[in-house]
Structure 1
Amino acid sequence: MKNFFPGPGVRHVLAAASLVLAAQAAWALQPFKVQDIRVEGLQRVEPGTIFASLPMRVGDEYTDEKGAAAIRALFALGLFKDVKLEAQGNVLVVVVEERPTVAEVEFAGIKEFDKDQLKKAMRDVGVVEGRPFDKALADRAEQELKRQYLNKSLYGAEVVTTVTPVERNRVNLTFTVTEGEPAKIKDISIVGAKAFSESTLTDLFDLDTGGWLSWYTKSDRYSRAKLNADLESLRSYYLTRGYMEFRIDSTQVAIAPDKQSISIIVNVTEGPRYVVSGVTLAGNYLDRDDEFKSLITIKPGEPYNANAVTDTIKAMTDHFGNFGYAFAKVEAVPEVDRENNRVQLELRADPSRRAYVRRINIDGNNRTRDEVVRREFRQYEASWYNGEKIRLSRDRVDRLGFFTEVGVETQEVPGAPDQVDLLVHVTEKPTGMIQIGAGYSTAEKISLTFGIKQENVFGSGNTLGVDVNTGKFNRTIVLSTTDPYFTQDGISRTLDVFYRTQRPYQYQGGDYKLVTEGGSVRFGIPFSELDTVYFGAGVERTRIKSGTNIPAAYLAYADKYGDSSFAIPLTIGWSRDDRDSALAPNSGRLQKITTELSLAGDARYAKFGYQYQQYIPLTKRYTLAFNGELGYGKGLSGRPFPVFKNYYSGGLGSVRGFDQGTLGPRDVTGAILGGTKKITFNTEFMAPFPGAGNDRTLRWFVFVDVGNVYGDNDPWSLKELRASAGLGLSWISPLGPLRLAWGQPIRKFAGDKIQRLQFQIGTSF
């Protein structure tokens, strides 16, 4: 059944009338001395709640005033529809009728939201199972639902509330929603802009009038929060180009009568363009004026730049923090020469008082243990406040990869002006990751790779993973676990157990196999906040199982050194990573050096590798990326480099456009042998996907790849390099980073195997 409720004004009149009538009922009682108090009509409310609210006790004199006050107090609890006072002799009887409680909350017609999300919104306004129900509560629920839809640009959404009584004085609430179509942004106008074209300014906005990809980005749906962010981008654009007095006068958002289109008009005043004439210091700089002057990024003679001013103030404030001055203030005071459009800036500093950290509190880690966060901190409790160490600690916690947000807030300690507490707030994210890859070639047909990794097992910070490759010629299973704090000093330990069967890419059929099984242990020692040195050891056994069409190189190796080769490889390496993100980097670099030595056993060799990645932000939207890799292998103790340790190139991760692993030396049968030397260069230009605005999770890129592998007796030859170019799509999907690439060889040789379309989840370059 559907209930149609009176408006708020009518309800207030009815409530007032009921209180008057109830008070009159109370006044009808003659004064008497209360010898007992009895409550009738209770179903769920505890009697103690009634007794605690009554303004009288046993032994008190009952009066009209006390009776009226008792009724008002009981109605104020919000638990009762009706309250009456009766007298049976000298016994005061309180008769109540409880309001029904909410039994269930259901939604119908919901498509835009997850129902759990709406139930949470209902709880925030008091609509929750077990809570007393009244009509005002239903009104609040309807208004909250409409507000949720307004945030999604669904201005035509209609909500009808159905109240269904059930047993035990309860009701079921059903909110039936007719969502309608979302209102789309029809146009965005910026009035008053003269220095820059309107198209230049609207390109700064994440909101737009839509494109063919708007179904994914929803950039043509109005949102007040998004508009505010866009207005800040507009303000920042002007303030960083000399327009110090730029202001946004007003913003009008007009909705069409059919509630299907929206027009946005932004009125601005640009003001004159100012040039900085000079920068001076004032105040107390701890007798370190030269140090603080070196932090100034404001350049006299150039247009006023609000970002440079903000960065300078922040750098100075942070530098004060390095000496323990947690409450330091730096203010930029402008002296404006309007006649010549010049501005002189005075930086006034007040270091205030020095402080030390009393306590570090962690919030938001519902799953991750406190120690996983605390062991990354370089700022310690009961030590002097050090801003640099706090920033470093925040970055280290962020680089764990367990949290979507990491923030550190400084809180003053009441009554202790020289102490602060640090509140570390984290927002956890799912740390399980699935890696899936697939490819197609005339040799492998369809090959699949699968991996699952849990980076924060049981909130311990440890990593556990398994990788599986189901290729026709290459099959692998690897189990690995990493303890990042194997010692309290931050030395990590990684254990691997693996089993591989290979038939390096060849096109003549055959049933031979290379079977490698073994395990390894590696340790990582942090020498600085960015540099880590790795070393470890392993045990491997590789068996060459003969079969049809086995390459002659494998037969020759088996004839001389046996079908089974035992090795004890020792590994040592170094890495430095200062990229701003591991998933979607925009700036920074990554460097790695790896060395593998086997000095004992049947297979004796050395293997060296170097990788360099650089990300250069061209603008907010565009990034230029470089990747280079070199590899070199050499046999030791008079033995050749083991053929089963050769490098391979071609495909994703090396030279796209060529079939996976098919570049390099071959034998007379056409079997791919790989090589002892490898070189790879990749260049990418990345930009937001058309129609996706500034969304960095979905980008397209163009690339140029160059590379090859060479045999042990072959020289490094630029003439033998293969090259390709193409375009691709990068998407940070729920399963991990997905890369789809279409490559066209631009330098190839006879016999090269081409594979133009390739994709993989969980890879870069």
Structure 2
Amino acid sequence: MNLAKMLRQLMWVLVAVYAGNAVAIEPFVVKDIRVEGLQRTEAGTVFSALPVRVGDSMNEDKAAQAIKSLYATGFFKDVRLEVDQNVLVVTVQERAAIAQITFSGNKSFPSDKMKEGLKQTGLSEGLIFDRALLDKAEQEIKRQYLSQGKYAATVKTVISPLERNRVGVRFDIEEGAVSKIRSINIVGSRAFKNEVLLEQFKLTTPDWMSWWSKNDQYSKQKLTADLESLRSFYMNQGYLEFNVDSTQVSITPDKRDIYITVNITEGEKYKVTDVKLAGEMLLPEEDLRKLISVKPGELFNRQKITESSKAISDRLGNEGYAFSNVNAVPDVNKQEHTAAFTFFVDPGRRVYVRRINLTGNTRTRDEVLRREVRQFESGWYAADKIERSKQRLDRLQFFSEVNVETPAVAGTTDQVDLNISVKERSTGSVLFGAGLSSAEGVVLGVTVNQTNFLGTGNRVTAQLNTGRINTVYSLSYTDPYFTPDGISRGFDIYRRDVDTSTLNTGNYKTSSYGGGVRFGVPLNERDSITMGLAIDYTQVELNADSLGRYVDFCGGNSAAGIGSSGCDNISLPATLTLTRDTRDNILFPNKGTLQRLTGEVTVPGLDLEYYKLEYKHSWYKDISRNVTLLLNGEAGYADSYGDGPYPFFKNFYVGGVNTVRGYDTSAIGPRITETSTSGRQSSFALGGTTKLVGNVELFFPIPGVKDAKQLRMSTFVDAGTVYGQGDPVSLGELRYSAGIGVAWFSPFGPIKLVAAKALNAREDDRTQILQFQFGTQF
């Protein structure tokens, strides 16, 4: 009854408002329309809102409708209609417009970014001033400062009238100091010390890294995540009934210090007494049981329960059951503190993939993507094949993002579509400039590289690099799908000049010219064979400071004082490489292995008759989401098989940023002190025919840097050496080093910077504490 009375009163108020804005109008024919009071708004805006035109009949109903329409534009705060000798006079009073928005006192956020944020709330220069939107903007600015932990921040607005019915808006901001977490107290813990539980939290009290991580600044979202981490910690230790009872967050009156209290109930530890499988098990039960990691007699572990459910669901997904559901239901005995778990399996319907849809590949041809996809259209859904397809597309390095979705087909219960959306990245580059290496010095170069030539997936590279030691001119072309079965074919043409005068490995120069062809044959998803044959012509240039053994190789006789200016050699090296690669990413792997066995042998009957064998094994393990452990081992052996000696310029060398860091490039291994034909006495590293290298490295993100795919740090321990021809292999000859490094895949090429300490350097070893590479192309 009271509500009806209020509605009637409101109706009469509205009638009174509109009656006050329009005189009593007798019906008439509009002879003309005149608009008065406009300052900024176009007259056409008013005419378009009116329900009448010149020549139309005007009455009170149309007058009321006209007033409503003009108010609805939002441009006017007052509207009046009058009649002057059949001329309709529309008198309006415009609402003020925002001429400018300024800020004062804002140090944490730049003014242009703040203006962009206010525009999202509807407050922007040139728009109509609205007090309600201004209040909303003020609250949004306060919220942004609260997200930075500045709880004492204040925001005041000042409105300044300007000419032509405009206003200026100024936000006066006092940011105040950042509020810091002074204490986090967990009440109710009996089994673990407070320090152990706080290790599960990202939020922390101020420490030496807080200036970077900002983890001493309170955030409700961070606290919620930390409480879930605490819950997971307890439940993975057997505390099935663990509960967070309450949390209190208090702040001091000066809003500088924050105190957090978390009240918990641990409960008792529970043991698992039995594990069962139930439901519709389409696969043999013994196969599914192998996927369950939790065993009777163990303490309850929520992580193992979750992983077991996921493993069974994934296994069913590989058989086509895309919508399987596996739930672990506990049977809890609170008196004995035990729990039995039954995994209920609901496979759902078996589905197949109706269609594979590709989007986002504006430059790359569809066939380039489709040949990497292991799931077939009209084939049974296979989760492992879909995941493998995503990995293969990622490994192409053509796309910055690869997203995969499998929506159900409308109107069916046994069909899904596989939607693959990609975001293309720049695959071509023309680099002019300089690189810098601790071994090479300044490296000037031009590299034209296109890994996705004309969208075909073929790779074309032309390179010119000039350094103090190596000068390379090369042109290569690779077709990864020379045949539909995935056999690749590539061609290479090169010239390489080497000048070792600055390496302390014996003074000589070589110029090699050659070309070759290679084929790669995939054996399966992970394994491949690469075969190649090349022709190589090498000129060796010696001088008065060259070692005697180099002179002897080129036909001289150093013992008899007979020198040599050099020699020419022609060879046909054939290579065979077996590769197994399970890495999830080529540039910055997080898990998987890379194994490579390479054999090189020259065709007999020419100037050089030798063979080389090399083996590399790299194992990556993801310790956590962004922390990766690398164990790497390399071994090599080489020798001649004919009457001639093994070519010294094909020796293995160890030391430097890519092998054993902390030692000078190629400086580890046998050395010789020899007097040259000019009488100069020097100590040289000879290299060797047997190589051993080992590396242990832990990769982790740089604190505060989110993009761990492009930039990360590492700490490492290296070991390695080379042995001369005929020397026994002794582990006592290994050199060791340890240090830290930074790797960045920059737009200008990979950058590698390491600081290393040689741990057992000998007196004649050359060491380097800081080593780097910049702009090296690979």
State the TM-score, normalized to the length of structure 2: 0.80
Instruction: Give the aligned residue type for 1:354.
Output: R
Aligned-partner Cα distance in 1 for 2:249–2:74: 40
Residues 164 and 217 of structure 1, relative CA distance in 2, 3 Å threshold? same
Which protein shows a greater Rg? 2
Instruction: Give the aligned residue type for 2:529.
Output: V
Aligned-partner Cα distance in 2 for 1:486–1:46: 69
Aligned-partner Cα distance in 1 for 2:640–2:521: 29
Further displaced range: 278-287 or 457-466: 457-466
Kept after mapping to 1: 8 A contact 2:695/2:716:
no
- 5+ residue gaps in structure 2? 1-10, 557-563, 675-681
Aligned pair partner of 1:322 in 315, 318, 324: 318
Aligned-partner Cα distance in 1 for 2:111–2:455: 29
Q: CA deviation at 1:564?
A: 3.5
Aligned-partner Cα distance in 2 for 1:477–1:261: 63
Aligned-partner Cα distance in 1 for 2:707–2:234: 19
Aligned residue runs from structure 1 range 282-681, under 5 A: 282-286=278-282, 288-361=284-357, 373-401=369-397, 406-424=402-420, 472-476=468-472, 489-491=485-487, 498-504=494-500, 512-518=508-514, 522-559=518-555, 563-580=567-584, 582=586, 585=589, 587-599=591-603, 602-616=607-621, 624-636=629-641, 638-667=643-672, 668=674, 669-681=682-694
Q: CA deviation at 1:50?
A: 6.8
Q: Secondary structure at the match of 2:223?
A: helix
Aligned pair partner of 1:242 in 222, 238, 250: 238
Q: Secondary structure at the match of 2:239?
A: coil
Aligned-partner Cα distance in 1 for 2:746–2:546: 42
Q: Secondary structure at the match of 1:417?
A: coil
Q: CA deviation at 1:627?
A: 1.3
Aligned residue runs from structure 1 range 46-195, under 5 A: 47=44, 51=48, 64=60, 67-87=63-83, 112-113=108-109, 118=114, 120-127=116-123, 132-159=128-155, 179-195=175-191
Kept after mapping to 1: 8 A contact 2:427/2:452:
yes
Residues 577 and 181 of structure 1, relative CA distance in 2, 3 Å threshold? farther
Q: Deviations over 1:73-116 (max 9, x none)?
A: 44344455554445566676666666677787776766545777
Aligned-partner Cα distance in 2 for 1:205–1:98: 56
Q: Secondary structure at the match of 1:671?
A: strand
Q: Secondary structure at the match of 2:631?
A: strand
Kept after mapping to 2: 8 A contact 1:586/1:615:
yes
Residues 691 and 50 of structure 1, relative CA distance in 2, 3 Å threshold? closer
Residues 259 and 276 of structure 1, relative CA distance in 2, 3 Å threshold? same
Q: Secondary structure at the match of 1:754?
A: coil
Kept after mapping to 1: 8 A contact 2:575/2:599:
yes
Corresponding residue of 1:727: 739
Kept after mapping to 2: 8 A contact 1:328/1:351:
yes
Kept after mapping to 1: 8 A contact 2:512/2:537:
yes
1:718 aligns with 2:730: yes
Q: Deviations over 1:575-623 (max 9, x none)?
A: 2233455555554322112233442764443322111122456678976
Kept after mapping to 1: 8 A contact 2:470/2:497:
yes
Corresponding residue of 2:560: none
Q: Deviations over 1:551-583 (max 9, x none)?
A: 334433444896343444443323223345555
Kept after mapping to 2: 8 A contact 1:583/1:737:
no
State the TM-score, normalized to the length of structure 1: 0.81
Q: Secondary structure at the match of 2:406?
A: strand
Kept after mapping to 1: 8 A contact 2:27/2:60:
no
Residues 304 and 418 of structure 1, relative CA distance in 2, 3 Å threshold? same
Further displaced range: 492-501 or 363-372: 363-372
Residues 758 and 284 of structure 1, relative CA distance in 2, 3 Å threshold? same
Residues 588 and 43 of structure 1, relative CA distance in 2, 3 Å threshold? same
Q: CA deviation at 1:288?
A: 4.0
Aligned-partner Cα distance in 2 for 1:734–1:518: 31
Aligned pair partner of 1:740 in 722, 729, 754: 754
Kept after mapping to 2: 8 A contact 1:34/1:57:
no
Kept after mapping to 1: 8 A contact 2:30/2:58:
no
Residues 404 and 177 of structure 1, relative CA distance in 2, 3 Å threshold? farther
Q: Secondary structure at the match of 2:685?
A: coil
Residues 352 and 266 of structure 1, relative CA distance in 2, 3 Å threshold? same
Q: Secondary structure at the match of 2:292?
A: coil
Q: CA deviation at 1:649?
A: 0.6
Kept after mapping to 1: 8 A contact 2:505/2:686:
no
Q: Secondary structure at the match of 2:384?
A: helix
Corresponding residue of 1:24: 19
Q: CA deviation at 1:200?
A: 1.4
Further displaced range: 399-408 or 366-375: 366-375
Kept after mapping to 2: 8 A contact 1:514/1:545:
yes
Instruction: Give the aligned residue type for 2:25.
Output: Q
Instruction: Give the aligned residue type for 2:755.
Output: A
Q: Deviations over 1:5-54 (max 9, x none)?
A: xxxxxxxxxxx999888723544241536768968559677958974x66
Further displaced range: 154-163 or 601-610: 154-163
Aligned-partner Cα distance in 2 for 1:309–1:386: 24
Aligned-partner Cα distance in 1 for 2:56–2:180: 67
Kept after mapping to 2: 8 A contact 1:23/1:67:
no
Residues 718 and 143 of structure 1, relative CA distance in 2, 3 Å threshold? same
Instruction: Give the aligned residue type for 2:338.
Output: R
Q: Secondary structure at the match of 1:413?
A: coil
Q: CA deviation at 1:242?
A: 1.6
Residues 109 and 344 of structure 1, relative CA distance in 2, 3 Å threshold? same
Aligned-partner Cα distance in 2 for 1:418–1:42: 65
- 5+ residue gaps in structure 1? 1-15
Corresponding residue of 2:6: none
Q: Secondary structure at the match of 1:555?
A: helix
Aligned-partner Cα distance in 2 for 1:701–1:635: 39
Aligned-partner Cα distance in 1 for 2:506–2:330: 80
Corresponding residue of 1:8: none
Q: Deviations over 1:622-660 (max 9, x none)?
A: 765321101122335544333222211112222233221
Corresponding residue of 2:249: 253
Corresponding residue of 1:4: none
Q: Secondary structure at the match of 2:683?
A: coil
Instruction: Give the aligned residue type for 1:225.
Output: Q
Q: Secondary structure at the match of 1:296?
A: coil
Residues 20 and 595 of structure 1, relative CA distance in 2, 3 Å threshold? farther
1:707 aligns with 2:711: no
Instruction: Give the aligned residue type for 2:639.
Output: K
Kept after mapping to 1: 8 A contact 2:627/2:699:
yes
Q: CA deviation at 1:277?
A: 1.4
Residues 694 and 494 of structure 1, relative CA distance in 2, 3 Å threshold? closer
